[in-house]
Structure 1
């Protein structure tokens, strides 16, 4: 795993780069969140491929539990990916509602947050 630091609207952003699934469960999410929180980051950007596929199955409640932790610590999370491939109306509604706010966002590309 590699962390690339960026500035975004006077905030410290952590772009997480990995070829592996980093978040398999709530504990993995808390470790990543805690590590980056204590390094002074305000926003974390991860690719959907770094999350277990169970995250995108809302029946597992994993997404809700993980996003609740990010909200508790007031750490913004941006998940980058192609979410249209998931044939779940519930997931699409969940993404739509999350994107109405600023705490957790699902985006197709990171360019909005990370500019060269």
Structure 2
């Protein structure tokens, strides 16, 4: 795993580069975000869709809700980048829409979009 720090609008954002699944349950998520925050000094993160366990995108498992609640509770911000059109779930599509309307968690198509959104939220 590699962490790149990008500075935009005087805000530092940690971009996590890894081919591995990094978040598989709420406790590993909290440990992961705390470690990244400590190592990078950032409280805004960019992750790839592939770095999240596939259960994250099945809302019935509760993984997404639990993980994202930790982001909000610990006053962090997260952008997840990928192609979310591959999921046929209307509830997931609605969930993504609601998250993108907020200020803490975003589901976006590219790293550039993620950096821009995190730097302006």
Q: What TM-score bracket applies, with the shorter chain setting the length? A: over 0.9
Mapped to 2, the partners of 1:3 and 1:65 lie a distance apart of: 24
Q: Residue 2 of structure 1 contacts residue 17 of structure 1 at CA under 8 Å; is this kept in 2? A: yes
Mapping for residues 1-116 of structure 1, pairs under 5 Å: 1-39=1-39, 40-112=41-113, 113=115
- Say whether the 8 Å CA contact 1:37–1:75 is kept in structure 2: no
Instruction: Identify, as 1 or 2, the structure richer in helix.
Output: 2
Aligned length: 114
Distance in 2 separating the partners of 1:15 and 1:74: 17
Tell me the distance in 1 between the aligned counterparts of 2:10 and 2:105: 18
Q: Residue 8 of structure 1: CA displacement?
A: 2.5
Greater than 3 Å deviation, 4+ residue runs: none
Distance 1:67 1:9 in 2: 24
Distance 1:42 1:7 in 2: 12
Higher relative contact order (CA 8 A, sep 6+): 2
Q: Deviations over 1:50-95 (max 9, x none)?
A: 0000000000010000000000111100000000110000000000
Which TM-score applies when normalising by structure 1?
0.94
Shift of 1:101: 1.1
- Aligned-pair CA distance for 1:32: 1.4
Q: Any gaps of 5 or more consecutive residues in structure 1?
A: none
Deviates more, 1:75-84 or 1:27-36: 27-36
CA RMSD of the aligned region, Å? 1.1
